[in-house]
Amino acid sequence: MHPASPRRSMRHAISSASRLARNANGSDSKDIATGEGRQMVALALDIGEKRIGIAVSDRTGTVAVPVRVMPAEEVRSLSRPFRMLVEDHEPDVIVAGKPMTLAGEAGPQAERVEREARAIAEALGLPLEFADERLSSAEAKRALREQGMSEREMRGRVDALAASIFLQSWLDARRV
């Protein structure tokens, strides 16, 4: 994997320093761990073998929005389109979906997903959190079917919508 671009690193460092300076002045930013005080952007990855769904939160850490689906190899290799997407959204944390069984245990793909998520987050120089992605794809398909989409029309949208669903749950859990 390629390291984060110097331009992105500098922009992110300036952006982070600016947010930290605002924090010192008592502004309303959100702390990633507690959800209190410090603002942040979370970038969610629904990591599949062939595709990765991407979603992002708003700056307040309140609303998750699906962004796009990319070929898994483009994300894993930190291709230019993926790096540009990261630069555009300037995330403070990566939230990867962790495949869980209905019993709440790590699913058969969990080890692979964790390994890939760690490699991506490390290459981007961002902290990594995991969120239970149980049933997020099924919920995404149901929502798209309700909008009248066929299986073919859903193909490029399900993973990004699934990422936004588990990201929204992760965001909501931090506000409690």
pLDDT tens, residue by residue, 96-115? 999 888 888 887 888 999 99
Q: Decide if 30 is inside a domain.
A: no
Residue 32 confidence (pLDDT): 44
Structural domain count, the chain? 1
Q: Decide if 78 is inside a domain.
A: yes
Q: Decide if 1 is inside a domain.
A: no
pLDDT-derived band at 38, boundaries 50, 70, 90: low
Q: What is the pTM of this model?
A: 0.76
The range of the structural domain enclosing residue 133 comes to: 6-25+38-175
Position 125 pLDDT exceeds 80: yes
Residue 27 confidence (pLDDT): 35
Q: Where are the beta strands (DSSP E) in 17-122?
A: 42-47, 51-57, 64-71, 93-98
Instruction: Give the mean pLDDT of 138-164.
Output: 88
CATH number of 132's domain: 3.30.420.140
Helix (H) or strand (E) holding 131: strand 128-132
Distance in angstroms (rounded) separating the CA atoms of residues 78 and 2: 6
Residue 128 confidence (pLDDT): 98
Q: Decide if 31 is inside a domain.
A: no
Q: Decide if 81 is inside a domain.
A: yes
For the chain, how far is it from start to end, CA to CA, in angstroms? 36
Number of CB atoms found within 10 A of residue 161's CB: 23
Dihedral, 159, 161, 167, 169 alpha carbons, nearest 10? -120
pLDDT-derived band at 134, boundaries 50, 70, 90: confident
